[in-house]
Amino acid sequence: MLKLSCNNLTDHLHTFFSDLPSFSPVNRRIVSCSHLRKTAPDPLRALDQRTLTLPDSVTPADRLRHGRLMEDGFSYKEQFIVRSYEVGINKTATVETIANLLQEVGCNHAQNVGFSTDGFATTLTMRKLHLIWVTARMHIEIYKYPAWSDVIEIETWCQSEGRIGTRRDWILRDCATGEVIGRATSKWVMMNQDTRRLQRVTDEVRDEYLVFCPREPRLAFPEENNSSLKKIPKLEDPARYSMLGLKPRRADLDMNQHVNNVTYIGWVLESIPQEIIDTHELKVITLDYRRECQQDDIVDSLTTSEIPNEMVSKRTGTNGSATTSKQEHNESQFLHILRLSENGQEINRGRTQWRKKSSR
C-alpha cells in the first residue's frame, strides 16, 4: 500500500486532472450536494492532515468516481446522475435503479476501505476460507423518486449485526435541495462459497471489518417499531394475483453465480395488479431472501393484498355482519412470495406498500 499525505494527494490529483484535456474545470472537482446548491470551496480543503492510505495502483474509475470516504472514516458518500435508461413509465427512476445504486455504492465503499476488489467485499480471512456475504433482508423506503437527469447523493455505512452477520444502511438525498428522498437498510450473512452453507462470523473476520464501522450504533431507521423491523408472514394459497413461469436470464446472474438480489424485486412486481401500477407508486419494499435461485430454475411470483392493522376500521352492519371502511379497500399493501415452480420451495417473501401517484 502507498501512503500519501494530504498535500501529496492534492498534487497527485491536480497533476492527473491536468493530463486530461477533455475534462472541463467543473468536472475536475469532486463535487458534493452542497456544491450544487451553492458555490463551494475547494473540496480538498475539507481533508485534514491525517495520513491517507491509497492502493498502490489508482485506476481511472477511482479517479473519476464521484465518491469519497467521510472524515470520520466510517461512512461513504457518492453522487449519481439518473440516466435516461434508468427511468420507467413514470419518467422517474425505477425501484430497480435505486436498488442497483444502493448495491453499487456499497461495493464502492467496501473497495474504498481496502476490502477485495472482486465485488464480494471480503476481508483477507474470508478469502482464505472461501467465505462471501449474501443478502438476508433488504428494506427500501422511497419518499420521492428522482427524475431523469436529477443528481442524487447516497450515503452508506456498515456495522455489526449480532453473531451471524452485518447490516448496511443508506440515506438518499436530492443534491439540488438536500432533501432526504429515501432510506434503506439490509442484513447480510456469511456463506461458504464452496458448500453454499451459512457460517457464523468469526472473531477474526469481525475484527477485520469492525475498524471501519461506527463505534456507536447508527441506524437509517432509528424510529421505534419502524416498518423495517416487521416480520413478513408467509403468503398462503390461493394467492389473488400471480405470474407463473419466470425464467432467469443470463444477465440476471451475479458474480456469486446466482440470481442477483435486484432481479427478485422485478419478479415480485410482475404479479402486482395492473390497476395498482397505473394509479400508485411503490413507497416501501421489504424482501427476505431464503434460498438461492440458479439459472435453470423456473419461478412463480404470487401476490395477495394485505390490510395493515392500523387501516382496518370495522363496524357492525344492520344484519350484524362486520363491514370495512373504504380505506381498507385501497389495496395499498401486499404480501408476496417467490417460489420454485417445480416443487414450491420458497425463494423469497416480501411486502410492498404503495401510495397514490401525485400529479407532476
Active site residues: 256, 258, 293
CA–CA distance, 52 with 180 (Å, rounded to integer): 30
Q: Which long-range contacts (CB under 8 A, 24 or more apart) does 104-107 make?
A: 104/78, 104/80, 105/67, 105/76, 105/78, 105/154, 105/156, 105/170, 106/156, 106/158, 106/168, 106/170
* CB-count exposure of residue 100 (10 Å: 0-12, 13-18, 19+): middle
CA–CA distance, 345 with 330 (Å, rounded to integer): 31
DSSP letters, 102-116, are HHHHHHHHHHHTT--
Q: Give the single-character DSSP code of 128.
A: H
CA–CA distance, 31 with 66 (Å, rounded to integer): 7
CA–CA distance, 121 with 165 (Å, rounded to integer): 13
* Radius of gyration in angstroms for the set of CA atoms belonging to the chain, rounded to a whole number: 23
* Phi, psi of 16, rounded to the nearest 5 degrees: -60, -50
For 149, the 3-state DSSP assignment is coil
DSSP letters, 150-183, are -EEEEEEEEEEETTTEEEEEEEEEETTT--EEEE
CA–CA distance, 34 with 54 (Å, rounded to integer): 26
CA–CA distance, 113 with 55 (Å, rounded to integer): 10
H or E segment to which residue 329 belongs: none
